Amino acid sequence: MELKYIFSCYLYLIIQLVFVTAKYNNNCRILLDELKCFGNIVDFGGNAKYIKQLKLLDMTSNTLDFDFILDKYPNLEYLFIENGEISTISPPKKNNSIKVLVLRNLRIERISQDFVLFFPYLEVLNLEQNLLSELSNEFHTGNLNELYIENNHWNCSKDVKWALHLNTTGVARDLIKTTCKDKLYSKKSVLLIAQFKKDMEKTCTPTCMCSLERIFIDPNSNIQYPIIMVNCSGRNFSDLPGQLPAYTRILHLENNNIDNIKSLTTNPYYGQVWDLYVDNNSIESISYLEGSYWISHFRIFSIRGNKLRELPSYALDNALMKNPNMPSGVTLFLGGNPWKCDCAFTPVFQELVLQKYSIQIRDLEDVKCSYIRGDENSLKPINNLSRSSVCIASTDFSLQEGLDLLNAVLASLIIFILGKLAYDYYHFKKSGKLPWIVSKIP
Ligand SMILES: *[C@@H]1O[C@H](CO)[C@@H](O)[C@H](O)[C@H]1NC(C)=O
Ligand SMILES: *[C@@H]1O[C@H](CO)[C@@H](O)[C@H](O)[C@H]1NC(C)=O
Ligand SMILES: *[C@@H]1O[C@H](CO)[C@@H](O)[C@H](O)[C@H]1NC(C)=O
Ligand SMILES: *[C@@H]1O[C@H](CO)[C@@H](O)[C@H](O)[C@H]1NC(C)=O
Ligand SMILES: *[C@@H]1O[C@H](CO)[C@@H](O)[C@H](O)[C@H]1NC(C)=O
Ligand SMILES: *[C@@H]1O[C@H](CO)[C@@H](O)[C@H](O)[C@H]1NC(C)=O
Ligand SMILES: *[C@@H]1O[C@H](CO)[C@@H](O)[C@H](O)[C@H]1NC(C)=O
């Protein structure tokens, strides 16, 4: 009995000695079943089966070896590793009883999709303040009740389906507050971006590429809207696509075979399109856009390299004056079309479009007269054409000149008639004869 008592006293002393040494060497403190150390993992030499909680703070090593820790403390239930340089973690091979695992404020960049499955009793996993940029879509949450992932470097330019997957499990308690860290979606909710991308992909125009360009926050309502770009360039479209994802604001249709864009006025999907690129198609006219909602609300309209010969200048001027995005939000590209250069179209086009909107038309010097062999205006920039070079008197008889001529004819007729009257009156007085024309009237 006495011997047993003395023996356990000795044992107690030895254990205390080990911890005192640990404390001196590694800056550890012990409190009941909790061991808290600053710096790297301590090697106690003996085992410490009764330690249930281990806190390792300010570790300077880059890798974390769970098996090494579990060797020393096989009965750990709470493992806190915070504020350190650890960047790589690989799951333990050993069975363990860890229930709460906190890996906070470290430099972890990656976590494998079945990490949690290596901890059969794990209930809480905290990964806050690391450098994680993505998760697997099949990240297993095992028996977790709580998962914390805030303040990582979540890159929402990558696939973020994992966020929707985590949302269905309901374990990620801070998912709603978790934000993206990449430049494009900085500070936006990961879950929101994931939802926007999913909706977009579901409704993306067949054969085209859809992308979420950025998020627009309505300043009045504070509601966030996606800004979606649909790229249907060079895909043999002969008409505007019939269907677009909701919130399509930018539509690329360059290098197709489109010959008209009437759908802009009839298809409700196009009311939401701000920027339209239809360069290098076969569009011959846009006169049907006159009075449409789209032409007075667009931001970018690029129709270079088509077959436009003229456009309704008054209507375009009217629409641009009404456009709420004017002046700085509106951009037009009209170059590379075979513009007609004649007196009926060109002067009005110059004045009401090219000159009035020279800031909005970014390729003014490419807006040229069509090629006509031997014509002096052929391929000249229209902006610089003089009026006389398009309105040559002999070939173009203007209304003003016509009116002037008519006036002159009428004036000389009046003078002739008055003269004849004076002559007839004088002749009648003198000879008593009525003028010949009066004698013929019955
Ligand atoms: C892990 O240990 C627990 C008991 O502590 C046991 O029930 C479980 O089956 C073990 N799992 C494996 C994979 O060995
Ligand atoms: C996330 O989950 C909640 C609760 O199940 C649900 O109401 C919400 O619609 C989900 N959000 C998204 C973006 O899926
Ligand atoms: C995010 O991911 C995109 C696409 O993979 C990549 O181009 C970009 O560099 C990443 N951004 C950051 C900040 O890592
Ligand atoms: C659209 O896609 C084509 C290839 O299909 C590509 O060459 C072009 O750069 C894309 N445009 C934009 C604005 O991303
Ligand atoms: C477009 O159609 C032409 C002929 O109709 C074909 O030669 C070409 O390969 C098609 N291009 C694409 C991108 O499908
Ligand atoms: C249109 O076609 C011209 C000539 O083929 C080419 O140089 C230009 O890059 C094309 N424009 C676009 C937007 O693809
Ligand atoms: C064409 O017009 C622009 C401004 O409208 C002017 O700056 C430029 O010098 C003119 N070029 C020629 C060759 O007249």
Instruction: Report residue 231 as tokens.
Output: 């790229």
Q: What is the pLDDT of residues 20-35, one digit of tens each?
A: 444 445 577 777 778 8
Highest mean pLDDT among 12-16, 95-99, 413-417, 434-438: 95-99
Sequence-distant (≥ 6) Cβ neighbours of residue 409 within 8 angstroms:
none
Q: Note the ligand closest to the C-alpha atom of 181.
A: 3
Question: Ligand 7 mean position to 212 CA, how many Å?
Answer: 41
| pLDDT at res. 3 | 61
Q: What is the pLDDT of residues 124-179, one digit of tens each?
A: 999 999 999 999 999 999 999 999 999 999 999 999 999 999 999 999 999 999 99
**Whole-number Å distance between alpha carbons of 90 and 103:** 12
Q: Are 319 and 298 in contact (CB under 8 A)?
A: no
| pLDDT at res. 253 | 97
**Whole-number Å distance between alpha carbons of 134 and 181:** 11
* For ligand 4, atom 3: residue with the closest CA: 233
Is 210 a pocket residue for ligand 4 (Cβ < 6 Å)? no
| pLDDT at res. 407 | 75
Instruction: Report residue 405 as tokens.
Output: 């001529």
The residue with tokens 């270079």 is: 304
| pLDDT at res. 23 | 47
Choice among 244-258, 305-319, 331-345, 388-402 with the minimum mean pLDDT = 388-402
Residues with CB under 6 A from ligand 7: 383-384
**Whole-number Å distance between alpha carbons of 256 and 48:** 73
The strand ranges marked E within 53-193 are: 53-57, 63-65, 78-82, 88-90, 100-104, 124-126, 146-148
pLDDT confidence band for 71 (50 / 70 / 90): confident
**Whole-number Å distance between alpha carbons of 179 and 160:** 12
| pLDDT at res. 33 | 78
pLDDT confidence band for 426 (50 / 70 / 90): confident
Ligand 3 atom at minimal distance to the Cα of residue 155: 1
The residue with tokens 């391929």 is: 379
| pLDDT at res. 12 | 58
**Residue 290: how many CA atoms within 13 Å on its side-chain side?**
8
| pLDDT at res. 1 | 54
Q: Evaluate the CA torsion angle 289, 292, 297, 298 in order and state its sign.
A: negative
Question: Ligand 1 mean position to 70 CA, how many Å?
Answer: 14
Average pLDDT, integer, range 415-430: 75
The closest of 73, 78, 18, 9 to 44, measured between CA atoms, is 18
Q: What is the pLDDT of residues 384-418, one digit of tens each?
A: 898 888 887 544 455 666 667 777 777 787 777 77
What 3 state SS string does 345-394 have? CHHHHHHHHHHCCCCCECCHHHCEECCCCCCCCCCCEHHHCCHHHHCCCC
Asked whether the predicted pLDDT for residue 311 surpasses 80, the reply is yes
Q: How high is the mean pLDDT of the chain?
A: 88
Q: Are 213 and 250 in contact (CB under 8 A)?
A: yes
pLDDT confidence band for 437 (50 / 70 / 90): low
Reported pTM: 0.78
Q: Note the ligand closest to the C-alpha atom of 355.
A: 7
